[in-house]
């Protein structure tokens, strides 16, 4: 399948997926997208707020330790929720359904390992930049005038390379590694090894995916930024001004004003997430189709979602964990057993395709029918 074919197939699959979800499902999808979108930026935002502006010598380390602990707790909790939402999103894309709580319960443990992996990526990028800064200008916080031209360029280039590296690794992890973690019940490092083995010889296709993802995300991001600017300018001023007036005239209502402002902001972010949901779905489907092309054993989207064939009762039983076909039995006998040495919670063969998230979805359907 060529790049053009994948783009067209991803568009058709996205259309069928959103149509199958209907209005109620799309509203739930907006919540899922909102959760992992907020989680993607919470780390930098929190650290930026709590990072002290003093030089190293002037920092009250006892106070800074407490603030760092609070920041780590907030980032960890929100990051974990975002990781769970990411797995829920992938499971929904694969099945064409969105039983949220069933998918949440099925992915709690592997989400924890994903948070640890993402934290390691961020710390690694920050460590590279910190090492370069410590080597060139020391551990003190110099002013702009104290930095030479060469030092400024070196620090700037290092920060840019670290940021790009973090962005590429994070994008590939979200698009390819997370689905493999869920589909084959692997930990993040083992899923990365599986991905690199499967994609060997097809790195150009991955580069094209990254280019497409950057272009589409940039275009959508710029359009939403323009709209957001006017919405926040008008709506933000009205809400903030009205809140200040209410708080000044009735101080007892100040907590209500704060809650109202936070709710308004989250409501706005939710609307943005509803708009972004088709774009997110499209890019993820593109990645999933690419995985299926380069490695048929990683073709993890159901035929009902792709529209290639009608799912039979036997296929449905296998998808929901109700049984295995003869092909699965052959694959189980021939598959190479992989032990997740980096925190995975299961052992799985290359032919084992019984997903606990799909089994949970079957349970959810049974509950609904009851």
Q: What are phi and psi of 347, to 5 degrees?
A: -110, 140
pLDDT (0 to 100) of residue 22: 84
- Give residue 114's pLDDT band: very low, low, confident or very high (50, 70, 90): very high
CA–CA separation, 107 vs 360, rounded Å? 10
pLDDT tens per residue across span 148-170:
667 778 878 888 888 889 889 99
Average pLDDT of span 48-69: 55
- Give residue 54's pLDDT band: very low, low, confident or very high (50, 70, 90): very low
CA–CA separation, 266 vs 260, rounded Å? 10
Average pLDDT of span 304-315: 55
Neighbour count for residue 179 (Cβ, 10 Å): 25
State how far Cα 142 lies from the chain centre: 36
Radius of gyration of the chain (CA): 23
| Residue ranges per structural domain of the chain | 3-325+353-363
Angle, CA of 79, 14 and 294, to the nearest 5°: 80
Is it the case that residue 340 has pLDDT exceeding 60? no
pLDDT tens per residue across span 224-243:
888 888 887 777 777 777 77
pLDDT (0 to 100) of residue 63: 61
Q: What are phi and psi of 338, to 5 degrees?
A: -120, 125
- Give residue 145's pLDDT band: very low, low, confident or very high (50, 70, 90): low
Angle, CA of 210, 213 and 214, to the nearest 5°: 85
Contact 294, 199 (CB under 8 A): yes
pLDDT tens per residue across span 205-214:
999 999 999 9
Average pLDDT of span 104-127: 91
The rounded mean pLDDT for the chain is 76
The first and second tokens of residue 262, run together, are 């936070």
Is it the case that residue 370 has pLDDT exceeding 50? no
274's CB contacts (< 8 A; 6+ apart) are 26, 27, 29, 30, 33
pTM above 0.85, yes or no: no
CA–CA separation, 47 vs 122, rounded Å? 12
Give the CB-side neighbour count of residue 31, counting CA atoms within 13 A: 12
């Amino acid at each position: 399948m060529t790049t053009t074919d994948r783009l067209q197939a991803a568009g058709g699959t996205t259309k069928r997926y959103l149509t199958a979800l209907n209005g109620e499902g799309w509203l739930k999808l907006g919540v899922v997208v909102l959760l992992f979108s907020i989680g993607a930026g919470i780390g930098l935002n929190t650290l930026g707020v709590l990072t002290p502006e003093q030089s190293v010598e002037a920092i009250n380390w006892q106070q800074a330790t407490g603030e760092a602990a609070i920041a780590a707790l907030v980032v960890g909790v929100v990051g974990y929720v975002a990781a769970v939402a990411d797995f829920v999103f992938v499971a929904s894309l694969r099945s064409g359904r969105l039983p949220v709580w069933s998918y949440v319960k099925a992915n709690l443990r592997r989400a924890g390992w994903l948070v640890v992996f993402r934290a390691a990526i961020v710390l690694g990028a920050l460590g590279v930049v910190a090492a370069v800064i410590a080597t060139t200008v020391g551990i003190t916080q110099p002013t702009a005038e104290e930095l030479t031209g060469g030092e400024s360029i070196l620090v700037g280039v290092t920060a840019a390379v670290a940021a790009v590296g973090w962005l590429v690794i994070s994008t590939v992890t979200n698009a390819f590694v997370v689905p493999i973690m869920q589909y084959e019940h692997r930990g993040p490092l083992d899923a990365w090894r599986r991905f690199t083995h499967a994609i060997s010889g097809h790195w150009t296709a991955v580069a094209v995916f990254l280019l497409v993802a950057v272009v589409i995300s940039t275009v959508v991001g710029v359009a939403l930024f323009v709209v957001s600017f006017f919405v926040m300018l008008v709506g933000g001023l009205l809400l903030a001004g009205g809140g200040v007036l209410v708080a000044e005239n009735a101080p007892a209502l100040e907590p209500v004003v704060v809650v109202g402002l936070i709710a308004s902001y989250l409501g706005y972010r939710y609307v943005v997430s509803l708009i972004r949901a088709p774009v997110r779905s499209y890019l993820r489907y593109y990645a999933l189709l690419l995985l299926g092309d380069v490695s048929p054993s990683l073709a993890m989207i159901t035929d009902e979602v792709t529209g290639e064939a009608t799912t039979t009762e036997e296929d449905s039983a296998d998808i929901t964990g109700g049984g295995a076909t003869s092909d699965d039995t052959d694959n189980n006998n021939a598959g190479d057993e992989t032990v997740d040495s980096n925190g995975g919670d299961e052992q799985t063969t290359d032919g084992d395709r019984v997903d606990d998230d799909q089994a949970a979805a079957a349970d959810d359907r049974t509950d609904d029918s009851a």
